[in-house]
Structure 1
Amino acid sequence: MSENSYILRIACDDQPGIVATVTSALASRGANIIESNQFWDRHTNQFFLRVGISVPAEIDKDSIVLTLNPSVDRFNMKLKVDVVSRRPKIIIMVSKFDHAMLHLLYQIKVGWLDAEVAAIVSNHEDARKVAEQEGIPFHYMPVNKDNKIEQEAKLADLIKQTNSELVVLARYMQVLTNELSSQFYGMIINIHHSFLPSFKGAKPYHQAYDRGVKLIGATAHYVTPDLDEGPIIEQETERVNHAMSADDFVATGRDIEARVLARAVKYHLEGRVMLNNHRTVVFTL
């Protein structure tokens, strides 16, 4: 039997009957629940629900939304429905350090990440060769204090023209303006080469080395107008020691960055990340 699969994400104030009402509505359309995750944040009283369903082929996305509209009205829900079979488009932005970008491209190539790279954007020419080898459009957008607004306007147009669902800052070493960060809030993921909130700003591994830390890490987070303070999606640490040099810290960090960013992108594209004010709810695999 041919079927369609969807991911439903629901957020609302917590109250009795949410899950029962939603699942009963879905059952009325012959939906089979194949995955379900829920979380109640007792501090904000917000309830988060992610449900994966399969339904008969004749039931499309609009039908699912119509079926759930009474539940949405009753509980004042925020509802998002994604088609599992879609291949989300993403834009990768990079400067000179290309390890995180290359890891993303590899994970897409082997199928672990299900996405289409609509464009690679850089303020340097270094990534052009890789983009051409992979058959991905390359956009060279050099940035300085005089053209930053103009270049970001081009980026915003590119996001809309390509219908990209996510922009990935894979060691893109330019600070986005408050306007762009706000316009695409929840759609831009950055990899910060530090275990935030420690060692923000430039050269965090060197800062960590100078402080003699025993653990270093990387943090993938959503970009906000507050530099390096956006909602955190994923983190990882690795042990270091006194015998290692600052360059050893950097080399270790590069590996962590690539892994953490890829996981964060996967969670986002699979609808596993839900924003909860300045925090996130991440329904991992």
Structure 2
Amino acid sequence: MQYVITAVGPDHRGLADPIVHCVTQLGGNIAEIQMYDHDEASVFSMLTRVELDPANDASLRQSIAEISARTGLSIRTWMPRRLDRKPRLAICCTLRTETPRAVLAAIKSGEIAAEAAALISNRQTCRGLAEEFDVPWHDIGRPDGSADDERMIDICDELGVDYVILARYMRILPPSSCWKYAGGRIINLHHGLLPSFPGMRPYHDAHAARMLTYGATCHFIVPELDAGNQIINQTTFTVAPGTSRDEIIRRGEQQNEPACLVEGVRRVVDREVALHFNRVVALKV
């Protein structure tokens, strides 16, 4: 069975060794390991992907809990493939309703074989979707519109979330949140084609460049790196010369973006693709 172990906390010596020794003493095989020291912030981050006999599951979790208590690290142990239940998704959104609605509808129809564990937002705009689809609603917004990032992680931990879906969630996650759910657990929808149009206004940028093809990108969020080799799915649409920018944005937001995200999430949930060493790899060929 494969496990992904992530650890984040105050930086000091000897943090990686206990986790590595725990895995090897249980007969596990380390398939991937990444470490990063945020020197200015004195924060240590680590991801370890291991193969371990599931008979040692309880021993692993007990040892990891002891290491966490001893070192002060925030450690998570996640199984990418479980046979006892469907993957649980936390869908995060801000103002636009089209993409979160599409994911919720795809879950309801069975197109995405997962469970919607929560709808999380820093605004109230999408609250009606939670009521419509009978999904727990969690408001993590502050009065100034910013988001309580630690509360988001707490909610996902409490609900046993497998994947965090950023469905036009217009806030940048801090590196600590990305590391806590690293290993291909955070899926983002960018409303432009990467790497060509990475900014906050990709439709405007593409229109200013006189493009006739527009698109959206579904990709894994990777700590410390921009989306490059982490693309899960891209969809495009072509417009006639002279098409107004407003019409292009309307088609993109209402039709193309939802379809792009749904297919990307489906590919991950169905284990067609996964993230390994910050690259998307095909699990089904």
The verdict on a shared fold, with TM-score over 0.5 as the criterion, is: yes
2:152 pairs with 152, 155, 167, which one? Answer: 155
SS in structure 2 of the partner of residue 101 of structure 1: helix
The superposition leaves residues 236-276 of structure 1 with CA deviations (integer Å, 9 ceiling, x where unpaired) of 11112322111111122121111111111111112222224
Consecutive unaligned residues of structure 1, counting only runs of 5 or more, are 1-7, 11-60, 66-79
TM-score relative to the length of structure 1: 0.67
Counterpart in 2 of 1:109? 108
In structure 1, how many angstroms separate the alpha carbons of the residues matched to 2:243 and 2:146? Answer: 41
Q: CA deviation at 1:97?
A: 0.5
**Which residue type is aligned with residue 193 of structure 1?**
H
The range that moved more, 138-147 or 251-260, is 138-147
In structure 2, how many angstroms separate the alpha carbons of the residues matched to 1:83 and 1:117? Answer: 16
SS in structure 2 of the partner of residue 82 of structure 1: coil
**Which residue type is aligned with residue 270 of structure 2?**
E
How does 1:42-191 map onto structure 2 within 5 Å? 62=54, 82-84=81-83, 86-143=85-142, 148=147, 151-185=148-182, 186-191=184-189
Counterpart in 2 of 1:200? 198
Which structure has the larger Rg over C-alpha atoms? 1
CA RMSD of aligned residues (A): 2.6
Aligned residues: 212
SS in structure 2 of the partner of residue 253 of structure 1: helix
Give the 3 Å change call, closer, same or farther, for CA 85–183 of structure 1 in structure 2.
closer
**Which residue type is aligned with residue 259 of structure 1?**
A
Q: In the alignment, is the contact (CA less than 8 A) between 1:93 and 1:122 conserved in 2? A: yes
Consecutive unaligned residues of structure 2, counting only runs of 5 or more, are 4-52, 58-78
TM-score relative to the length of structure 2: 0.67
In structure 1, how many angstroms separate the alpha carbons of the residues matched to 2:145 and 2:251? Answer: 36
Counterpart in 2 of 1:257? 257
Q: CA deviation at 1:112?
A: 1.1
In structure 2, how many angstroms separate the alpha carbons of the residues matched to 1:256 and 1:171? Answer: 13
Give the 3 Å change call, closer, same or farther, for CA 201–157 of structure 1 in structure 2.
same
Q: In the alignment, is the contact (CA less than 8 A) between 1:199 and 1:207 conserved in 2? A: yes
The superposition leaves residues 5-40 of structure 1 with CA deviations (integer Å, 9 ceiling, x where unpaired) of xxx879xxxxxxxxxxxxxxxxxxxxxxxxxxxxxx
In structure 2, how many angstroms separate the alpha carbons of the residues matched to 1:221 and 1:213? Answer: 22
Counterpart in 1 of 2:47? none
Q: CA deviation at 1:224?
A: 2.4
Q: Percent identity?
A: 30
In structure 2, how many angstroms separate the alpha carbons of the residues matched to 1:225 and 1:143? Answer: 24
Counterpart in 2 of 1:229? 227
Q: CA deviation at 1:147?
A: 6.6
